[in-house]
Structure 1
């Protein structure tokens, strides 16, 4: 039977608690940046996911299933058997980089197969692709963080913890932490959510939720068209493999439920392939995508101004041509005070790693400026 008990993130009661008094400065970086670690407790229902990943054959089978034409429909339902009897309480450590001293803070959420390095790449000549540096120069503060399960944040169970609604609850807690915690290094009068790809869905869901709707002053989304029609080509091209078997020296301690791309060529149409594969990429957990597909985001509940900035040739968001593909999501954002879309930038999915990046950054800052931010 098709699993139809979707979790609506705009109405479900979520207990989300940041622990601001325990956040601490870990190290200092140049350019007024510092590494921080924030303990966060969330309490949300979990999906019961029936997928099991032990080896590359299981990863390949998951890819076949996720790309099947009728995946998620009655003929081939999601691998979800139900939900927990009630909310599950968990505490995580969220690792982030905080830069700048502006009164408006941008909270940056990266996508699948990425870490917070997406926003501040460190390969030679990467200055033009450095969103964090550009934002600080424009007068903003920036919190870029690793989603739980990734990089400097807590390693988590890839099925029970690495779920979309849990990641949203973590982001809600970060919004509360940044907005209200005068004792931390992150005080802000205004908060903007900027999400890329999977992070765009998280940012939209947080902005639509009861927890953050009145605390978010604007939403910026990239690598995003609001739907899932074009996930198939993206996943097929990724050639998912068990991360610990692919890169044992780097990821050998991970559960086999963490997946990565087959090789650097699977990344080539999306990013600066060599740097991404060797340095910038991070595995994603098997529970992330089924839980996203089983979650209903009520876009009309977003009240803050929204800007969607798209590379025209984005495969996963638009099937390789975004012209006209943002009309539907624009029409769903009926509660937003302002909605602006850009769909014709000459770039693919990972907008920040294309030559057009500085122009894209400027469009975002101009939009924020027109909203008084």
Structure 2
């Protein structure tokens, strides 16, 4: 991505002994999923990582006006801002152990392949992206997967929800998020009951997965990317419409303890514009996502690029709404190069995947948040059918 910093190759994974030792110490049962479809256990897991973060010449904004000015300059002239903030891309080793809130749900009736879905949420939400609406909701992806016989594992990204919230410029960056994800996948692969790990991401979670497969290749058995295309030109213009606010000032009750480098979009209007396609959603669901919103740190925004390598060759499904504003400028059906639309063109990021292993699905009348539209039940069904049809 020409306006973002390329991710550097991360150092080898560290052992996950600490995760196994602490898993039972902080477990508790959750109620976001109906007990009839699965049993869920939540844990705070210590995740040890080693990552090459980018040294950013940037301090937390002193106030909202300073943040607004920075976002305006960065989204309108990214090359000039990156030249100052990123410079020559000098890196600093981030060797830390972070406390990550996780949930593992086991299905009442496991499928024959003992599948676990590894779920990475977007930059504007926490884990509730996967349990939207709660028990019995048609927007609850976790329940859909459990009914298909798949275990699901989801977590709050570093800096989000109930996970640890370190410095949002120096530490909470994409290389660190990638490494946390890689460690958690390895943790799941160490559990004997799972024979197949399928990674599912949304938006920033999909970008994180893209970085992971480009660095680690076939580290999962299949990958599903939602809310993503290769049309990077629409990203910064879309991001500029968030009206980025300092999280602690936007909602002191929820975010008051966060540093000024933690940001969220300003209000429900920004949410609708970026994530929804009017009138193809339930207004109550829009409000739910607003109430549950989280944001991005400046460190994440400035290090969100991923360098294609062609290392990944396992099956991949890309699912992006036809009216996705953030990744297509509101029209994903535009032809580009030899591809009939932006979603199909995402294949160019993954040269190692054979043509018969790369699939796309474009939900109609659907914006960026594919989990929150009237089309969602059909979208979930298409995703589960794709998984079922895997060899």
Structure 2 residue matching 1:154: 3-state secondary structure: coil
Partner of 2:317: 307
Shift of 1:96: 1.5
Q: Does 1:290 align with 2:302?
A: yes
TM-score (norm 2): 0.85
What secondary structure is seen at the aligned counterpart in 2 of 1:112? coil
Pair 1:118-2:129 in alignment = yes
User: Which shifted more, 240-249 or 100-109?
Assistant: 100-109
Deviation at 1:116, TM superposition (A): 0.5
- Report the Cα distance in structure 1 between the residues aligned to 2:72 and 2:351, rounded to whole angstroms: 36
Q: Is the 8 A contact 2:12 2:50 kept in 1?
A: yes
Superposition map of 1:82-97 within 5 A: 82=88, 87-97=93-103
Are the aligned partners of 2:116 and 2:197 in contact in 1 as well (CA < 8 Å)? yes
> Secondary structure in 2 aligned to 1:94?
strand
Residue number in structure 1 paired with 2:281? none
Structure 2, unpaired ranges of 5+ = 277-284, 334-340
Task: Sort the Cα spacing of 1:4 and 1:368 in 2 relative to 1 into closer, same or farther, 3 A.
Answer: closer
Higher strand share: 1
Given the two structures, how large is their TM-score scaled by the length of structure 1? 0.89
Contact kept, 8 Å, 2:124 with 2:293, in 1: the verdict is yes
| Unaligned 5+ runs, structure 1 | none
Instruction: Give the alignment partner of residue 275 of structure 1, picking from 288, 294, 297.
Output: 288
Q: Residues 164-175 of structure 1: matches in 2 within 5 Å?
A: 164-175=174-185
Provide the rounded CA distance (Å) in 2 between the counterparts of 1:45 and 1:154: 19
In the alignment, is the contact (CA less than 8 A) between 2:321 and 2:332 conserved in 1? Answer: yes
Number of equivalent positions: 357
| Contact preservation (8 Å) 1:46, 1:83 | no
Which of 59, 65, 72 is the matching residue for 2:73? Answer: 65
- Distance across 1 between alignment mates of 2:344 and 2:351: 12
* Conserved 8 A contact 2:363-2:379: no
Q: CA deviation at 1:263?
A: 1.3
Answer whether contact 1:310 1:345 (CA < 8 A) is retained. Answer: no
Q: 1:209-220 counterparts in 2 under 5 A?
A: 209-210=215-216, 213-220=217-224
Aligned mates of 2:180, 2:288 — CA distance in 1: 28
CA contact (8 A) 1:14 1:169 kept: no
Q: CA deviation at 1:86?
A: 5.3
Residue 48 to residue 253, structure 1, CA distance change in 2 (3 Å)? same
